[in-house]
Amino acid sequence: MSVSVSDELQLFAQEIQSFLSPNTLRNLARDVGFVQRTSKYQAKDLVALCVWGSQNVAMTSLTQLSSCLEASTAVLISPEGLNQRFNKAAVQLLQHLLAELLSKKLTSSMPISSPYTSIFKRIRILDSTAFQLPDPFSSVYPGAWGCSHTAGVKIQLEYDLLSGQFLHIHTGPGKQHDRTYGSNEMGKGSSSLK
């Protein structure tokens, strides 16, 4: 791992720790159904594995991920056990974690200057990113990258710039057009940037 990547991961870890306590992370995991009972594999282990444990979780074998998890957190789990825990609840936990971090970061930043707040009651920002996945994921996440890759995922995020509130977070197939995402509700005094 290069020094710059290591430094970036350390900064991200500090951000997580400054905004989310271990209790908050545990409660969030319970709320989304990631944790249903006491287990040696916890939300913090998923975050450690997916955020800074491996540079490419989707391309790394379950055996390698299990070894990486044991080396970094001392949690021993079989590759099959880990596979069972990569589920919709894990995705929801990571989505909620991202939303919580961004929301806290946005609300802690400087407020928008008054000329905008006098004109608009809401400024909605909608943006997306898309990336390729290994071909075996094409049945769940069909991509739009022609013949070289058949699988891809798109992540959409919509938030109100003035309040810092997240209006919409979605992951879906990479081939889905941006127009199908976001809330369609435009109230009086709202502006939308896509």
CA of 169: how far to CAs of 5, 33, 105, 120, 134, in Å?
26, 18, 16, 23, 23
Reported as a single tens digit per residue, the pLDDT across 61-97 is: 899 999 988 887 888 999 999 999 988 899 889 888 8
Task: Give the pLDDT of residue 147.
Answer: 60
Question: Domain map of the chain by residue range?
Answer: 3-91, 112-193
Whole-model pTM: value is 0.63
- Residue among 174, 164, 94, 84 nearest 130 (CA): 174
